[in-house]
Structure 1
Amino acid sequence: MREYDSLWQPLQVGPLTLKNRVVVTPHALAYGRDNLMTQQSVDYYEERAKGGAGLILTEAQVVHPSSRGMMLRTLQSWPTEVIPVYERLAKAVHRHGAKVFVDLSHFGAEDNNTMHLDNWRSLWSASGLPSPTYGEIPRPMTEEDIAKLVAGFGRSARNAAVAGLDGAEVHAAHGYLLCSFLSPLTNRRTDAYGGSTENRCRIVVECAQAVRKAMPAEEFAVGVRLSLNEFVAGGIEPDEGERILRTLDETGLFDYFSVSGGAALTFHQTVSPMSIPGTPLVDLAMRAKRITDKPVLTANGIADLDTANGIIERGDADLVAMTRAHIADPHLITKAQTGREDEIRHCVAGNQGCFSRMAKGWSLTCTQNPSAGREAELGLGTLDHVAEPRTIVVVGGGPAGMRAAETAATRGHRVVLFERDDVLGGQIRYAAQLPTRGRWAAMVSDMERTLDKFKVDIRLGTAATVDTIAAEDPHHVVVATGSSWKTDGYLAAVGNHGGIPGLEHTTVLDPITAITEPQRAGERVLVIDDTGDYLALGLAEKLAAGGKQVEVVTTRMSLGDNTVLYLDTAHLFPRLHAAGVELTPQHAVFQVTPEGAVVGRIWDGRTKVVPIDSIVTVAMRAPEGALATALAGRFPVTEIGDCVAPRRVDEAIYEGEMAGRTV
């Protein structure tokens, strides 16, 4: 077992002692009802406390009715009705020796003023400037508004303290209301709350004073979350971030500083996607450490214990946030401390089950960990071990089949896994070969280790048949045979049900062939995308890096529109433009002739002819369900993953987990 001694050291934060240096920072869960946290929320946080985290912060809790936030399930901290659920949360987390702080927030202009029918209102802001995300023009806060806000912070802190929570964090980062006062870009005020750094900090100081004044408990810590760099010209840049932190530190109000970065327009710097390696915000924490002797928390991209331990060991920060790592595996600390580090499931930073769902207002879960948000159903202690082991055959070694096999084997079954390829992983193996997508391989490696540990009988290079399955005399068969890419060029938005005419005039490749055999694509490649996801663009980048001339065509309004949800867009598109990839939205390939692909605008049919050597179609997938049909009536059969309907890896992992639990 590796040593992580620096991580396990306790730390004094104000009046409290944290048992270790690992923190789960605020992140949206969207499990609330009636603007309050629910038992589902409590279960989620308790699972992370049970797994060993030293400090847990709630998702944002708004301090005043003027803020209802970006989602229908935004939570409030100001009404006293919140106290009972805070009490349950405190007891649940304290059972496992962790501390829990409330995140006190106001979203300001990062909001929708008419989302809730019972709460239409004008939005609050520092200076009446609209959010770059939502575009609604807010009104500048009056001094009376500021007084109400300050009182809301105090009332919310009192609710938390009375309920037994351990502290409060004043959220003044990421472009939200308090950050809009701190930023010289969004604060154009000429009164006592604008102008100098000290004036722009005034509202944060007053809110923190209200928190301190409202506390009925002596053992209650207060911190502040700051963007030391907004990554926007004219906004908070590192030197100004240092001045802000120094100003706040000199007040003596704060027991620690949670140092982050980014604003509304640059949230891709706050929660870095898979394409950004390393820990890009640690340098901001190092700057903060030169200013204050209070504990400094750093966040973003800290996905493994080696990295986290190194940050603490070098003194770059005093606390490390491993938030997405704890979404993927809430027990990573206890696993490491008890010699089970090989069981840790690693966050791949795809932002697929977590951030992208939050961006759509959906409840949080995890691609790797379907128990996230389902702790009562799938959390620790819910996996039953069988009294009578049976033989389970799983057909297909992609994510769905691998997860079904490992879960069934963990329960005590004898499991035989047939995979027709020479390696496990299915289409995820190919996705991991695309630029900046290597971390997908961690998902496969995590499951491979578990399969090995529980001695799953893996038959690689073996296409399962009814006879080979029958030879195992299985009690149950799980079919996870996946899907295959179609190459007829069917486009949902165009309704060309017969596909693209004239494809015989060129080489047509599916995405997997283009990834594994790029030489077959020739020099001039047209990629057709009907999905809006990363795949077509990542493939275009890979082919362009190999010296090919690449154009990507889609009928959608923009290319890669779903990459916005994964925070990939701002990182991906500069690379595509630098590689010379031509991007053509709102167009379709109408036909292919000996001269090339006839590409037309979907609105008026205006066309151009693009000379090509090949077309790669990223569109329809067809389920491979023939084996399940052949097995029907001979054995109990469960179909999972893409062979049921081609979808994402999230559904494949979830269905594999559920199949493994029920066979």
Structure 2
Amino acid sequence: MSRPTGTTQRGRKTASLPAPGVPFYTPAHTPSTGTATQSTTHDGKPIPTLFTPHKIRGVEFGNRFVVSPMCMYSADDGHLTDFHLVHLGQFALNGAALTIVEATSVTPNGRISPEDSGLWQDSQIAPLKRVADFVHSQGNKIGIQLAHAGRKASTLAPWHVAKRGEHQFAKESEGGWPDNTWSASNIPYAPDWVNPLEMTLDDIKELKDSFVAAAKRAIAAGIDVIEIHGAHGYLMTQFLSPTTNKRTDQYGGSFENRTRLLLEITKEVRAVIPESTPLFLRLSATEWLESANEPSWTVQDTIKLADLLPSLGVDLLDVSSGGNSREQVIKMHSHYQIDLVSQIKKGLREQGSKAAETLQFGAVGMISTAELASEVAQKGGPVEADLVFVARQFLKEPEFVRRVAHNLGVPVRWPNQYHRAQWKPDAKI
């Protein structure tokens, strides 16, 4: 239990109030770290949208920065460890409004690697709650991405692979399960990968039940935001895409059938989490296979799916791309994924969809500068993403939020414990 307001461990009076709702003492951050402390920049301009608060359902974020889920391959039988406490905690400490725990498998065979995070058993709640408590102690929010890797499961952590495609999968002797990976159809990701099992209807029911159970565990651990992983060539993508889904039952064939599993899972997860909890969906908006000679999942399919999401209780579409085929052709540039958000929003408006007004959007991909992060979120700008998802740049600069704020001239709240280190407004960093 946290100590009574206004007292220290030895009972002496203190001017520092404790952070509420956490089982240890740390000073409260009011406002939360990373929040703008005034309504104008140092030179008198309005605060950019990037540093304005944003509320989704019952959760308010102090700014628009989200730490994207990033696999760390460091869990112990699905349990988070002290590594995750330090790794994820640093982002909240440095001002990220929302930090999302890496892809977390809802079943043991859904992990990307044997060292992936999981939420398929109750013992995995406590270490996750420990991370959530620390994030909350900084006044910020924590989310989790619930996932199943499908045919891309049972692989080795990247540093164990000498080069791409060389013994990528984990053998049983390495803790893997190469004979028990699932997919929509019995089609391997590549010739040198394992052959997945085509899921039976019983497997599908088990999967749906596992997503529901994992969502309940996440809420028990204090998670603020749930995200369903429907991107990057993992199991949900494998059902959505006609390149990987060759089923002839109610889960294959037509658009309605190929989207059925994702929509059923979404509906069932929404039903068991609090009304106040935001529900996100990450989707690969395109497979980048437009030049192929067979049908694939495209931006038009994403627009069609996005139209359905608000009625199922999805609050935000986290727009990513690719990952389902080595044949993908991507023309890399700073906006190659960011522009997908604009395309989807435009498509929804053109077809008169209510989702154009109610569905929120997250943009991700190569956001590594203050200028680009600000442009992506700016109200009235070309993208107008509601939240800005950043991944690798946070690994390079855990203090990315504070650096961006400094470069944009925005005064933000630093951790109380770091107040002596604050940069002067004219400092070159």
Tell me which residue corresponds to 2:325. Answer: 265
| Correspondence 1:356-505 to 2 at 5 A | none
Tell me which residue corresponds to 1:326. Answer: 394
**In the alignment, does 2:245 pair up with 1:245?**
no
Deviations 1:110-155 (A, max 9, x none): 1237534466342110011111275221121111000000011011
Amino acid in the other structure paired with 2:363:
T
Cα deviation for residue 175 of structure 1 reads 0.7
**In the alignment, does 2:251 pair up with 1:193?**
yes
Deviations 1:586-631 (A, max 9, x none): xxxxxxxxxxxxxxxxxxxxxxxxxxxxxxxxxxxxxxxxxxxxxx
Tell me which residue corresponds to 1:145. Answer: 203
Give the conservation status (yes or no) of the 8 Å contact 1:9–1:19: yes
Cα deviation for residue 48 of structure 1 reads 0.6
Cα deviation for residue 334 of structure 1 reads 2.4
Cα deviation for residue 77 of structure 1 reads 1.1
Tell me which residue corresponds to 2:52. Answer: 9
Tell me which residue corresponds to 2:315. Answer: 255
Tell me which residue corresponds to 1:221. Answer: 278
Larger strand share, 1 or 2: 1
Structure 1 residues 133 and 321: CA distance shift in structure 2, 3 A: farther
Amino acid in the other structure paired with 1:81:
S
**In the alignment, does 2:252 pair up with 1:210?**
no
Task: Quote the Cα distance in structure 1 between the aligned partners of 2:91 and 2:197.
Answer: 39
Structure 1 residues 183 and 309: CA distance shift in structure 2, 3 A: same
RMSD: 3.0
Q: Tell me, what secondary structure is at the counterpart of 1:265? A: coil
Tell me which residue corresponds to 2:372. Answer: 307
Give the conservation status (yes or no) of the 8 Å contact 1:110–1:133: no
One of 86, 96, 110 as aligned partner of 1:43: 86
Cα deviation for residue 267 of structure 1 reads 9.8
Task: Quote the Cα distance in structure 1 between the aligned partners of 2:134 and 2:191.
Answer: 36
Structure 1 residues 339 and 319: CA distance shift in structure 2, 3 A: closer
Structure 1 residues 33 and 122: CA distance shift in structure 2, 3 A: closer
Task: Quote the Cα distance in structure 2 between the aligned partners of 1:277 and 1:312.
Answer: 18
Task: Quote the Cα distance in structure 2 between the aligned partners of 1:91 and 1:269.
Answer: 42
Task: Quote the Cα distance in structure 1 between the aligned partners of 2:407 and 2:261.
Answer: 48
Deviations 1:303-323 (A, max 9, x none): 112111112221512211122
Structure 1 residues 43 and 9: CA distance shift in structure 2, 3 A: same
Tell me which residue corresponds to 1:280. Answer: 336
Q: Tell me, what secondary structure is at the counterpart of 2:108? A: coil
| Correspondence 1:74-93 to 2 at 5 A | 74-93=116-135
| Correspondence 1:107-146 to 2 at 5 A | 107-112=149-154, 115-117=171-173, 120=177, 121-132=179-190, 134-146=192-204
Task: Quote the Cα distance in structure 2 between the aligned partners of 1:267 and 1:330.
Answer: 34
Task: Quote the Cα distance in structure 1 between the aligned partners of 2:267 and 2:298.
Answer: 26
Q: Tell me, what secondary structure is at the counterpart of 1:66? A: helix
Amino acid in the other structure paired with 2:344:
A
Cα deviation for residue 161 of structure 1 reads 0.1
Tell me which residue corresponds to 2:145. Answer: 103
Give the conservation status (yes or no) of the 8 Å contact 1:231–1:266: no
Structure 1 residues 325 and 114: CA distance shift in structure 2, 3 A: closer
Give the conservation status (yes or no) of the 8 Å contact 2:104–2:111: no
Structure 1 residues 201 and 14: CA distance shift in structure 2, 3 A: farther
Task: Quote the Cα distance in structure 2 between the aligned partners of 1:336 and 1:122.
Answer: 45
After TM superposition, the score normalised by the length of structure 1 is: 0.49
**In the alignment, does 2:306 pair up with 1:231?**
no
Task: Quote the Cα distance in structure 1 between the aligned partners of 2:328 and 2:63.
Answer: 28
Cα deviation for residue 252 of structure 1 reads 2.6
One of 33, 57, 71 as aligned partner of 1:28: 71
Deviations 1:167-203 (A, max 9, x none): 2111011110011001111111121111222211111
Tell me which residue corresponds to 1:593. Answer: none
Amino acid in the other structure paired with 1:307:
L
Task: Quote the Cα distance in structure 2 between the aligned partners of 1:307 and 1:114.
Answer: 38
Task: Quote the Cα distance in structure 2 between the aligned partners of 1:204 and 1:241.
Answer: 13
Cα deviation for residue 75 of structure 1 reads 1.6
One of 333, 345, 352 as aligned partner of 1:289: 345
Structure 1 residues 245 and 63: CA distance shift in structure 2, 3 A: same
Task: Quote the Cα distance in structure 2 between the aligned partners of 1:287 and 1:14.
Answer: 25
Amino acid in the other structure paired with 2:143:
F
Deviations 1:445-484 (A, max 9, x none): xxxx66xxxxxxxxxxxxxxxxxxxxxxxxxxxxxxxxxx
Q: Tell me, what secondary structure is at the counterpart of 1:262? A: coil
Amino acid in the other structure paired with 2:375:
G
Task: Quote the Cα distance in structure 2 between the aligned partners of 1:267 and 1:297.
Answer: 26
**In the alignment, does 2:242 pair up with 1:184?**
yes
Give the conservation status (yes or no) of the 8 Å contact 1:335–1:341: no
Structure 1 residues 191 and 326: CA distance shift in structure 2, 3 A: same
Amino acid in the other structure paired with 1:50:
L
Give the conservation status (yes or no) of the 8 Å contact 1:133–1:264: no
Structure 1 residues 119 and 331: CA distance shift in structure 2, 3 A: closer
Deviations 1:40-81 (A, max 9, x none): 111111111111111111111100122232x33112111111
Task: Quote the Cα distance in structure 2 between the aligned partners of 1:158 and 1:97.
Answer: 23
Q: Tell me, what secondary structure is at the counterpart of 1:184? A: coil
Task: Quote the Cα distance in structure 2 between the aligned partners of 1:331 and 1:177.
Answer: 33
Amino acid in the other structure paired with 1:180:
Q
Q: Tell me, what secondary structure is at the counterpart of 1:264? A: coil
| Correspondence 1:164-183 to 2 at 5 A | 164-183=222-241
Cα deviation for residue 336 of structure 1 reads 4.2
Deviations 1:553-602 (A, max 9, x none): xxxxxxxxxxxxxxxxxxxxxxxxxxxxxxxxxxxxxxxxxxxxxxxxxx
Amino acid in the other structure paired with 1:246:
D
Give the conservation status (yes or no) of the 8 Å contact 2:61–2:140: yes
**Rg: which structure is higher?**
1
Q: Tell me, what secondary structure is at the counterpart of 2:71? A: coil
Give the conservation status (yes or no) of the 8 Å contact 1:13–1:295: no
Task: Quote the Cα distance in structure 1 between the aligned partners of 2:91 and 2:149.
Answer: 26
Amino acid in the other structure paired with 2:372:
T
Give the conservation status (yes or no) of the 8 Å contact 1:62–1:105: yes
Give the conservation status (yes or no) of the 8 Å contact 1:110–1:134: no
Give the conservation status (yes or no) of the 8 Å contact 2:367–2:390: yes
Structure 1 residues 267 and 160: CA distance shift in structure 2, 3 A: farther
Give the conservation status (yes or no) of the 8 Å contact 1:175–1:264: yes
Deviations 1:338-397 (A, max 9, x none): 67979xxxxxxxxxxxxxxxxxxxxxxxxxxxxxxxxxxxxx989xx9xxxxxxxxxxxx
Structure 1 residues 280 and 321: CA distance shift in structure 2, 3 A: same
Amino acid in the other structure paired with 1:25:
S
Amino acid in the other structure paired with 2:59:
L
Deviations 1:218-273 (A, max 9, x none): 432211110111102332122122222223x2533211110111123359889x9x
- RCO (CA 8 Å, sep 6+): is it higher in 1 or 2? 2
Unaligned runs of 5+ in 2: 1-41, 155-168, 349-354, 411-415, 422-427
Structure 1 residues 66 and 262: CA distance shift in structure 2, 3 A: same
Task: Quote the Cα distance in structure 2 between the aligned partners of 1:339 and 1:166.
Answer: 30
Cα deviation for residue 10 of structure 1 reads 1.7
Tell me which residue corresponds to 1:496. Answer: none
